[in-house]
Amino acid sequence: MNSSLDPLAEALGRWRVSPPVDADFRQAVWRRVGQRTSQTWPGYLRSHATAWSLVTLVALGAAAFSGSALARARVRADRDAMVVNYLVDLDPRVQAVLKH
């Protein structure tokens, strides 16, 4: 494709941005930075208590669910191993079938 015939390339080539000059821009930025640094850790926690409570509840719920699923899988595996051992103890001929 020939880029010299591309209307988008021509439009972008002619496009110029000239934002208005703001003499107070630098002072406004430093004023906002100063406001952020004046906030203390307890103040931050108080202002974001709902969000952090939600994050904590989600993390605890995920940990509880995954721990429960892991425990159920472990119990199932142990139960299957006990069944195999019990059947092998009852009839040694079953061992050849179960070990495959």
Q: Give per-residue pLDDT as tens, 37-84.
A: 777 888 888 889 999 999 999 999 999 999 999 999 999 999 999 988
Instruction: Say if 15 falls within a structural domain.
Output: no
Q: Are 98 and 84 in contact, with CB atoms under 8 Å apart? A: yes
Residues whose CB is less than 8 angstroms from the CB of residue 47 and which lie 6 or more positions away in sequence, other chains included: 39
Q: What is the pLDDT of residue 63?
A: 97
pTM above 0.85, yes or no: no
What share of the chain in percent tops pLDDT 90?
A: 40
Instruction: Say if 17 falls within a structural domain.
Output: no
Instruction: Say if 3 falls within a structural domain.
Output: no
31 three-class SS? helix
Q: Which domain holds residue 76?
A: 22-98
Q: What is the pLDDT of residue 60?
A: 97
Q: What is the pLDDT of residue 91?
A: 78
